[in-house]
């Protein structure tokens, strides 16, 4: 409403809300603000002595590429740094719309490469570097992990940690999208609207994309395998769930397919990467929430990874909802037993 009457913008309001009130100084951590290839980062190092080199974690924050910041995730990164005795690098990648997609992915990839080259300067073993992210940050982490499979000049990533990530924009009719279509904070249509804004695409394509008219025939054949609801355990389907989107006859639109090509690129939809890429990915931790439209993205990615022999640790929060891990570090008012379980599993 405020945006419509010209007082402020949605992006400004959400950025301010996510930033919140910064926490007080932490005497247990050494915290530095630096730049990696002109990309802002904040490094968190435990002050406790160690006999060997620590693991290093690059953290990519959520916010659909348009909001979120290092400051917003200060509590999250402090918590994981201390609980896991790791060196954390929070990446302040540039945001859309000021910096159009895929700047966000490019910044995170550049920061990852830079850190791996200088990891030993921070007491980190380059062979024990992990990429981690929540929500759209999990999308970026997955895309960075895929991009790193081709690097011959650096050690392989040790692992990827994906916290309720968005992983595909080919089907919005999976059981979790039907079950949680009206559950905050990611309503079904709202999820796609946010993605279209991130990509600077017109919202006029919304209905056609929801129906799957943007998926070209050659990719649709692969999606019928990769996004097959049969790959989702029956416990996650309501009794009245009917398969849609994957098997139904679609009214293809070649013009829409051209417009929507970035939506289906593995940088935006890592679940749609080719088998040859999936097979080279590192050990993976996945976190899903029952009351989240993105739940089945996680389940389907888990299946693809395991089919290629990738070791997967999966944490499912039965009472969880999208954003619960972000809220968990904001004190008792925003704390949930379910969130604490997730935090412990990630650590």
Length of the chain: 347
Could you give the CA distance from residue 94 to residue 102 in angstroms, rounded to a whole number?
Answer: 10
Q: How many CB atoms lie within 10 A of CB 33?
A: 11
CA distances to 162, 232, 275, 340 from 302, rounded to whole Å, are: 11, 10, 13, 23
Q: How far apart are the first and last CA of the chain?
A: 40
Catalytic sites, residue numbers = 135, 292, 322
- Quick one: how far is CA 181 from the chain centroid? 19
Ramachandran category for residue 280: left, alpha or beta (phi over 0 → left; psi -120 to 50 → alpha) = alpha
Q: How many CB atoms lie within 10 A of CB 280?
A: 15
- Beta-bridged to residue 132, according to DSSP, are 59, 161
Phi, psi at 101, each rounded to 5°: -50, 140
Could you give the CA distance from residue 163 to residue 141 in angstroms, rounded to a whole number?
Answer: 10
Q: How many CB atoms lie within 10 A of CB 344?
A: 10
């Amino acid at each position: 409403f405020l945006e419509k009457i010209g007082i402020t913008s949605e992006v400004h309001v959400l950025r301010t809300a996510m930033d919140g009130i910064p926490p007080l100084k932490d005497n247990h951590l050494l915290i530095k603000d630096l730049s990696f290839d002109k990309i802002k980062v904040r490094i968190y190092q435990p002050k406790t002595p160690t006999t060997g080199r620590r693991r290093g974690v690059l953290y990519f924050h959520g916010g659909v590429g348009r909001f979120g910041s290092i400051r917003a995730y200060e509590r999250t990164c402090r918590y994981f740094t201390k609980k896991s005795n790791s060196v954390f690098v929070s990446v302040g990648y540039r945001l859309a719309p000021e910096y159009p997609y895929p700047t966000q992915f490019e910044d995170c990839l550049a920061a990852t490469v830079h850190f791996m080259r200088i990891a030993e300067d921070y007491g980190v073993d380059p062979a024990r570097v992990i990429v981690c992210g929540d929500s759209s940050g999990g999308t970026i982490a997955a895309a960075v992990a895929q991009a790193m499979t081709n690097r011959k000049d650096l050690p392989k990533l040790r692992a990827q940690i994906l916290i309720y990530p968005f992983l595909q924009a080919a089907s919005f009719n999976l059981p979790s999208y039907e079950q949680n279509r009206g559950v905050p904070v990611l309503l079904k249509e709202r999820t796609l609207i946010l993605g279209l804004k991130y990509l600077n695409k017109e919202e006029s394509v919304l209905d056609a994309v929801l129906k799957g008219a943007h998926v070209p025939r050659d990719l649709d054949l692969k999606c019928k395998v990769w996004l097959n609801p049969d790959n989702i355990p029956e416990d996650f389907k309501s009794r009245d769930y009917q398969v849609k989107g994957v098997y139904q006859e679609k009214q293809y639109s070649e013009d829409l397919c051209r417009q929507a090509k970035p939506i289906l690129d593995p940088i935006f939809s890592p679940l749609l990467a080719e088998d040859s890429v999936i097979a080279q990915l590192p050990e993976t931790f996945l976190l899903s929430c029952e009351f989240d439209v993105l739940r089945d993205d996680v389940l389907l990615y888990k299946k693809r990874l395991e089919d290629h022999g990738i070791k997967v640790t999966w944490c499912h929060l039965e009472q969880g909802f999208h954003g619960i891990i972000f809220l968990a570090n904001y004190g008792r008012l925003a704390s949930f037993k379910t969130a604490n379980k997730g935090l412990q599993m990630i650590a």
